[in-house]
Amino acid sequence: MLCLHEVDFGVLKYLGIALLAILSAVFIFNVFIFFMLERHHKEACDRIETIAKNPSYVKYLDSWGSETFIGKGYYLVSGMNGDVVGYKSNKTIDSLNVPNQELSGIEEQYFRIEIEKFGEDFKSPITKENISKISIGRGRDSVIFLKNGHKISSHRGHDIESGHLMKINDSIYAYCANYRF
């Protein structure tokens, strides 16, 4: 059994200081990572807001959709990470071009698209008349185009009050997944 008079308190003091230094370093590292992630998410939101508020980006993305998949016989168009595919039937799947990066403001490798139709069978082709929403994104953030008088109260569970959804005008919204506008 170790007696108190046999303990070298100098060694314990240095072990305590070393442990405190390690814990402090871990804390500082975690705070650094937190602020770096916050900055990254804020920059992503700023970027999607810039795209949504830029009339030339919006006009180009809207016309890209019309030229690429609306009225072309596709019943489903989806895309992620720079790959966009259009489904005409279970056996006919076309690879579609992504928008030009310089004209859209969205890098090809981050490009994502979602399309919602209403009032129609799932297998009915996408037309100007049955499309309600096009969400064109950069990663998880997106510019939302509302079509045919469609209204939006929330997107992915977030509303305007949450700070994740920003109204640009009656038919254009910006959505930021990981930060608030």
- Residue 94's Cβ-side half-sphere holds a number of Cα atoms within 13 Å equal to 14
User: What pLDDT, on the 0 to 100 scale, is given for residue 98?
Assistant: 92
pLDDT of 12 strictly over 80: no
CA distance 150 to 118: 9
* pLDDT band for position 89 (cuts 50, 70, 90): confident
- The three-class DSSP label of residue 116 is strand
Output 69-72 pairs: Cβ under 8 A, ≥24 positions apart: 69/96, 69/115, 69/126, 70/126, 70/127, 70/128, 70/131, 71/125, 71/126, 71/127, 71/128, 72/125, 72/126
User: What pLDDT, on the 0 to 100 scale, is given for residue 5?
Assistant: 60
Q: How does pLDDT run across 111-140, given as a tens digit for each residue?
A: 999 998 987 688 899 999 999 999 999 888
pLDDT of 161 strictly over 90: no
pLDDT of 103 strictly over 80: yes
Q: Tokens 């039937």 label which residue?
A: 89
CA distance 139 to 79: 11
